[in-house]
Every structure is written in structure tokens, then in C-alpha cells.
Amino acid sequence: MLVHELGGLDKLALSEIPAPKAGKGQVRIAVHTAGCNFADTLMISGVYQNKPPRPFVPGLEAAGTVIECGPDTAGFEPGDRVLAWLNSGGYAQEAVAEAADVFAIPDGMDFVTAAGFPIAYSTALVSLAHHRVDLQPGEVLLVHGAAGGVGLAAVEVGKAMGAIVVGTVGSDHKRDVVSARGADHVINYSNESIRERVKALVGGADVVYDPVGGDAFAQSLRCINTNGRLAIIGFASGTIPQIPANYLLVKNISAIGIAVGAYRSVDPEFFAACFTRLLAWYEAGKLHPLVSHTFALDQTAAALDMLITRKATGKVVVTMG
């Protein structure tokens, strides 16, 4: 799926292009499945921080089998089942990834599950485990957009880390999905006040995990505990909130911006350690990734529209079959 011109999802075009080649420190993957992310829609429209030269193939995560190893890629060989975080290129039959961003798929994980695993779960653990947030057992974790891909992953990761998890959702169906993944409490913000319900249920939040922004962020400021940490993951609501500095001052609140992809280069050892921990948790049965919808490659625009319209729960995946 190529982007020749920046804009809406209608700019995606199914095309034939030459096969990519693996360079130094890279592996080429025969893509079986590719995960869909809100960041893909931003890249297609030209407002994402990473702006590949056009024409380009979007898609930031993929799962498949290794078909070529470039120099300096010890640990991989053709035929290996792998999942990968990509700079771009996932919505294609073949993609090239940096070897440091490629990980072996556990034996019990299928390709559909693997495609939706890298970004959602690494975003959750990198954000919550990093020393700037440092979620502790017994602390209250408030997760906004809890039924979405990164939100649902944060619910499971938070529980694995021993937190008391409160999720916010926009419907009763999504409430059921989040409850089934282990959340201690779920708030339907379409008919409940986040601020008032958090206070009534748990007294306040120690850590807020917010990929949504907008009103959810504003309400978080009014129900976060003293010394709380507000982890800013993204702005799926489309509204970038402004923070009154006096709120931060009065309660000693830390507002922490987390661009998880940056840790791939600035702290690759920490990033890799998080993946090792996540895959061990999966094999131990502590994580249960949810893929609510799958689409064929020529339906990539419809797949991404599920994220924009917030109709999906968990992850949406594109298949190459």
C-alpha cells in the first residue's frame, strides 16, 4: 500500500514495487500480518514526526518469517518466525527492519497476535517501567482509552506489575472487554464522571496512562494523587490539552511525555529488556492480546478507519494471505 500524496486514507494505493533489500544490521521479512496503529494515519496525512520520502509504504509493525539477513545480524537466519517494530513499510508482502527491533515469536503465538504485539505492549511497559514513571505494586493506575490497542495492553501490563487498574471507556461493550482483561474497575465516561468515579472507587490515581488527551486528561488532573505521575502517550481524541501549572505545583504532579519509539535508539538495552520481559509474561499466560478485526491488504484503509472512528477493541491487523 503506497502513499504517493499526503492526505486521508483515500491516498493509499495498492501497487507493485521492487522487493526491498536488507542492509547492514537489517533483516528482510516476508510479512504475514501487519498491525494497525493510530500513528499510521498521522504518517499518511503528513503530521507524524517521522516523515518518509514519498512514495512510501506505511505500517509500523509486522510479523512474518526472515528471508534475508544483512551483515551484522547475528542471531537471525532465514525461516525464523519474528515480530518487528518498523520505521515504515509494514503494509507490504515484504519489509525491512533493523535487527535490534526484531524479536523471535514465542512458539504458542500465531502471526495475527504477533503483528499486534510490538507497539501496544512495548508502549505500555516502556512507559510504566521507566524510572520517570516507575509504577509500583499496589499503586493505582488509571488507563484512558482502555479498550484500544495501547490502552488494553496497559491494563494487562499494569496488572502484571501489581497495580490496581482503573480503565476508562466509552461504551458498556468496551467496559466488558476491559473487565475481561483484568481491570479492577472500569468507568464508562459516556454516562459517568471520570473524576468523581475515580475518587469514589479508589480515592485517586497514582499514575495516569493517557493516549487520549482532551477531556479525559483534564479530569485526570482533578483526581490524581499527590506525587502522581501523568504519562502522556498520545492524543487520539484529536485535542492536545493544556496543563495549568498550578495543578502540577499544588500536588507535586509530574507530567511526563513518553515517545516510546525514541527508546529504540536512545536506550536500546532498556527497550530490548522490556520486550524480553513482555514475551516471558506472554509465555507465562499473563498477557492475552486481543485482535478484534482483521482485513486483507487491499482493505488497509478500512482497517485504519476502525481506529479513527474508535470502533475497534484491542488491535486491528492486516493480513497478506
Superfamily of domain 2-117+289-319: Medium-chain alcohol dehydrogenases, catalytic domain (3.90.180.10)
The strand ranges marked E within the chain are 2-3, 12-13, 26-35, 61-69, 81-85, 94-98, 102-104, 140-143, 164-169, 185-188, 205-210, 224-232, 254-257, 291-296, 315-319
Structural class in CATH, domain 121-261? alpha beta
The owner of cell 515480530 is 83
Domain-wise residue ranges, the chain: 2-117+289-319, 121-261
CA nearest to 145, candidates 204, 224, 195, 216: 216
164 bridge partner residues: 140
Name the pTM for this structure.
0.94
The per-residue pLDDT string of the chain (321 residues; one tens digit each, 9 = 90 and over) reads 999 999 999 999 999 999 999 999 999 999 999 999 999 999 999 998 889 999 999 999 999 999 999 998 888 999 999 999 999 999 999 999 999 999 999 999 999 999 999 999 999 999 999 999 999 999 999 999 999 999 999 999 999 999 999 999 999 999 999 999 999 999 999 999 999 999 999 999 999 999 999 999 999 999 999 999 999 998 888 888 899 999 999 999 999 999 988 888 889 999 999 999 999 999 999 999 999 999 999 999 999 999 999 899 999 999 997
Residues with Cβ within 8 Å of residue 108, at least 6 apart in sequence? 283
Residues with Cβ within 8 Å of residue 133, at least 6 apart in sequence? 127, 207, 229, 231, 256, 258
The whole-angstrom separation of Cα 246 and Cα 127 is 25
The whole-angstrom separation of Cα 116 and Cα 110 is 11
The conformation of residue 94, written as its DSSP 8-state character, comes to: E
Count other Cβ atoms within 10 Å, centred on residue 226.
Answer: 10
DSSP per-residue codes, 73-85 = -TT--TT-EEEEE
Residues with Cβ within 8 Å of residue 8, at least 6 apart in sequence? 44, 45
